[in-house]
């Protein structure tokens, strides 16, 4: 009977630790306004317009930088016929 209580306590502590870490990450990173996209810089040769690239990439200012899938953004922009080379970089604040 003692072993059952110890196992139950262990499971509860593990679950509480997991949920606490998940909530902490959510608050520190995903809901933190410091990690919202504030500036989107583009360098083009002029054949692609800013709005065209942002629409194709489904990218906008205000999104959380950790929720942006850089590989998907790069692939979406690369599919534009005018795009030769695409590099997408995430810069953390400060």
pTM above 0.75, yes or no: no
| Same-domain pairing of 88 and 52 | yes
Q: Quote the distance between the C-alpha of residue 74 and its chain's center.
A: 14
pLDDT at residue number 30:
84
Position of tokens 């520190």? Answer: 28
pLDDT at residue number 43:
84
C-alpha dist (Å) from residue 13 to 16, 26, 27, 62: 5, 20, 21, 36
Rounded Cα–Cα distance for residues 65 and 34 (Å) = 9
| Same-domain pairing of 41 and 26 | no
Rounded Cα–Cα distance for residues 65 and 38 (Å) = 9
Local confidence pLDDT in tens for the 94 residues of the chain:
788 999 999 999 999 999 999 998 888 888 888 888 888 888 887 788 888 999 999 998 888 998 899 999 999 999 999 888 888 988 888 6
| Same-domain pairing of 46 and 91 | yes
| Same-domain pairing of 18 and 63 | no
Domain hosting residue 7, numbered range: 1-31
pLDDT at residue number 94:
67
pLDDT at residue number 47:
82
The structural domain count of the chain equals: 2
pLDDT at residue number 77:
92
């Amino acid at each position: 009977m003692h072993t059952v209580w110890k196992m139950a306590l262990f499971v509860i502590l593990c679950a509480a630790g997991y949920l606490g870490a998940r909530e902490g990450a959510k608050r520190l990173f995903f809901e933190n306004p410091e990690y919202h996209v504030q500036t989107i810089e583009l360098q083009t040769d002029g054949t692609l317009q800013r709005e065209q690239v942002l629409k194709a990439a489904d990218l906008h200012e205000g999104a959380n930088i950790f929720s942006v899938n850089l590989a998907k953004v790069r692939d979406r922009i690369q599919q534009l016929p005018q795009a030769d080379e695409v590099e997408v970089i995430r810069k953390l604040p400060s």
